[in-house]
Amino acid sequence: MRYQLVQELAAEFTVEILCLVLEVSRTAYYRYVRGDSYQLTPEKTEYQQLVEQIFNKHKRRYGSRRIKAELQEKGHLLGRHQVRTLMKKAGLQAIQPKSFVPRTTDSKHGRGYWPNLLLGQPLPKAPNLVWVSDITYLPLINGDWAYLATWMDVFSRKVVGWQVGNTMEDELVILPLRRALQLRQPAVGLIIHSDRGGQYVSSELKEVIRLWHIRPSMSRADDPYDNAFAESLWSRLKAELLEGGAFLSVDDAHTEIFDYIEVYYNRERKHSSLGYQSPEQFEQKYYKNLTNSLCR
């Protein structure tokens, strides 16, 4: 238990530093030392261990709602209040993303713009109807920047394509789009939505749009909330992966982003908007229901 570890190391380090590093509450620790802490039953001790295992497995990215959902998935019927209490007793606090801060793209590129096809439209009811894209900056430890572009399916929030590069050239968005199209084979009429960056109106991207019979769409001028799904991804990714830090290099950024998106975000991370399912689970459930309805 973390409190015991603080107690063991207190002769070498200050309690303040130990509690900070181990992410436990000093107040709770001193209660533990005084013997004021509530003694858990064997059953609750087992639950607390499970809570800590899930919390550590997800690298402090899960709060009580998602931990509760994962416990229930494993057959442990704990309520959110119980999970929150166990987390508090163990001094566990999830990473909190920074508030969403709109970032306006420099759209003075002279390439023209697409109309916004998503205004007033309901959310898609199936995969491969609407994909959204954006580019963000990734800080490197030497003070330079790498760049990440993603394409997300709005229906399942699954990142269907992504690319890390050391420049923001057109290929940063075109390469992952081509890969996603080849892999997912969307029907005619797919909407691809982005901000007003010049990469999304390049001649090469226009050729991809023509070949795949895609309907391009763009946010309104100076209104990044039109592309809120992509902005939300950046907020969560940077909070959960970077925590204010930086990558060692472009290659390091690529490796870490691969692990976060392909291994964790798409396949494991539960989204509240998806009923606490991962994007992969949500899509699989959709296709299973679709198959069952066709077989009736």
Question: What's the CA gap between 248 and 178, in Å, rounded?
Answer: 28
Per residue in 223-261, pLDDT (tens digit) is 655 677 887 888 888 878 776 677 888 998 899 899 899
Q: What is the H or E stretch that residue 162 is in?
A: strand 158-165
Instruction: Record the pTM.
Output: 0.68
Q: Is 16 helix (H, G, I), strand (E, B) or coil?
A: helix
For residue 272, name the pLDDT band (cuts at 50, 70, 90): confident
pLDDT at 192 over 90: yes
Cα dist from 253 to 102, 109, 148, 230, 273, whole Å:
23, 28, 9, 19, 28
For residue 103, name the pLDDT band (cuts at 50, 70, 90): very low
Q: Give which of 76, 26, 29, 32 is closest to 51, Cα–Cα.
A: 76
DSSP character string of 181-209? HHHH-PPTT-EEEE-S-GGGG-HHHHHHH
Under DSSP, the state recorded for 8 is: H
Cα dist from 291 to 124, 128, 157, 188, 286, whole Å:
19, 17, 21, 21, 9
Q: Name 133's Cβ contacts closer than 8 Å, sequence gap at least 6.
A: 149, 150, 151, 152, 173, 177, 192, 193, 194, 200, 230
- The pLDDT score that the predictor gives to residue 152 is 96
Q: What is the H or E stretch that residue 145 is in?
A: strand 145-153
State the amino acid at position 38 in one-letter form: Y
Q: Give which of 75, 90, 76 is closest to 22, Cα–Cα.
A: 90
Tokens of 230: 């992509």
Q: Report the pLDDT averaged over residues 1-9.
A: 72
Q: 61-100 burial string, b = 16+ CB within 10 Å, else e?
A: bbbbebbbbbbeeeeeebeeebbbbbbebbbbebeeeeee
Q: 226-239 burial string, b = 16+ CB within 10 Å, else e?
A: bbebbbebbbbbbb
Q: Report the pLDDT averaged over residues 2-22.
A: 74
